[in-house]
Chains A and B, each alone.
Chain A
Amino acid sequence: MADLSTRVGALTLKNPIMPASGTFSEELADVFDLDCLGAHVTKTITRERRSGNPVPRVCELNGAMLNSIGIPSKGAGWFVKNTIPFYADYDAPLVISISASTADDFARFAEEVSVPGVAAIEVNISCPNIEDHGKAFAMRPGSTEDVIRKIRSATDVPIWAKLSPNTGEVVEVAQASETAGADALVTANTMLAMAIDSRSGEIRLGNVMGGLSGPALKPITLRMTYQCAKAVAIPVIGCGGISTIDDVIEYLMAGARAVQVGTATFISPNTMPRLVGELDATLAARGLASVEALIGTARLSGETTTLAEYT
């Protein structure tokens, strides 16, 4: 059997498959043994209780979905008391995702949840649903650097910065995260999008706009993963539209050291354990001893024709 393990900074994961924040919870333990995953990643929480967005909160598209769940949250107290202990029963490292509305609040909150059992904090600086229609820290390198730096000085727990596809400055934001002390990047969150019912004219989400996820997102987030892996030295975790083993392999080839699976779990709750098994089988079929052998191997075809200078 191939070595499926992968390192993400100081953490070693037994395999590179983990859930994406907001698409995973304790309830999935009703379906399969959660310990077969490389890590556990919880839904983003805020410090205060919040209700999230109006319904309808989701709609399906062709090979994709929109969501405007927002960040409903039972608050930090509830989370520390109930959620974190649940995952203590498992070997897989626990990554918790947090959000806040100012850099200082982010830092304070990070400190508060830096409790035993938390292996890393994923900072959701990219959620497109809250506040002013998709603008978030991760839109600009400056605001990213500021918030990560403050969080960095508030906690010793590894920080994963979750980036947004809604910015034109992906590379700069990635580098700002690294500079400010992030331990890893997650590329990426959902892309701001919209759907209208052509018969009724009704906007299909209660929040008007929402985040695009699922297979249609993959070409965009795969590109971000490639860009970030080239631009920073810290590990990059790929996320966006993964549902098949080919998707996993493409992200690894693009330079991701691990991947997160989101929407696909809604379509088949067993997607993640299936991918772990298929990754093992694929490595074996290709005669590769480890996941490591795939990471960052994407390259241009040698057969690219050189064109004439003019058309």
Chain B
Amino acid sequence: MKCRMMKESFNIEKAIRLVSSPKTGGIVIFLGKVRNESHGRNVRMLIYEAYEEMAVAEMERIRKEALEKFPIEDMVIWHRYGELRVGEDTILVVASGKHRKEAFEACKWAVDEVKRRVPVWKKEVTDEGTFWIEGERHIKAE
């Protein structure tokens, strides 16, 4: 499955195999992680909520658009949800191409699109309370 929402951690080697063929010369991977700091607050954990069916459909649309827009060979887009601790993986985008240029461009573009379009929301559990992240805004959650 090349586009997935999942609770379990990523098997990156498996994602690489999914996009590799004998024609592949370069693979670019973006791996997002939960970091311990956000806007000056000490982060303990992220809770990702998703509109799962739509999220998968939107990732599939992004993958399809990437394959049309860039001369790449293949792409994997995986996103995790649920409770994720500092250091855990959150998102994985893998783009394979004959050459590296297009793989870099497609990977970067797809990560941006996922962050802009895929219905997933982050709640940051910090030392100063819990905040919903909505685009650039942070809103205190009860």
> Is the pairing of A and B real?
no
Task: Report which A residues bind B (CB closer than 8 A).
Answer: none
